[in-house]
Amino acid sequence: MIDLHMHSRYSDDGTYTPSELVEQCAAAGIRVMSVTDHNCARANEEAQRAAEEKGIRYIPGIEIDCTFKRVNFHVLGYGIDFRNGDFAAIEKHVADQSARASLERLEKTRALGFTQITEKDLLALSENNYWQKSWTGEMFAEALLAMPGYADHPLLKPYRPGGERSDNPFVNFYWDYYSQGKPCHAETDFPAMEEIIDTVHAGHGVTVLAHPGVNLKGKEELLEDIFKLGIDGIEAFSSYHSPEQAEKFYRAAKVHHVFATCGSDYHGKTKPSIEIGQHGCTEADGEVERALERMGL
* pLDDT for the residue numbered 12: 86
Residue 164 has what pLDDT?
96
Going by the DSSP 8-state scheme, the letter that residue 6 receives in this structure is B
Contact present, 169 and 176 (Cβ < 8 Å):
no
Mean pLDDT by 10 residues, the chain (297 residues): 95 93 96 96 97 96 96 96 94 92 97 96 90 91 96 97 94 94 94 96 94 91 96 94 93 94 91 88 71 76
Tell me the C-alpha distance between 103 and 123, whole Å.
Answer: 11
On whether the CB atoms of residues 279 and 249 are closer than 8 A, the answer is: no
Note the pLDDT of residue 283. 59
**The pLDDT of residue 280:** 80
74 bridge partner residues: 65
Per-residue model confidence (pLDDT) at position 39: 96
Q: Containing H/E element for 238?
A: strand 233-238
Distance CA 139, CA 159 (A): 14
- The pLDDT score that the predictor gives to residue 189 is 92
SS3 208: strand
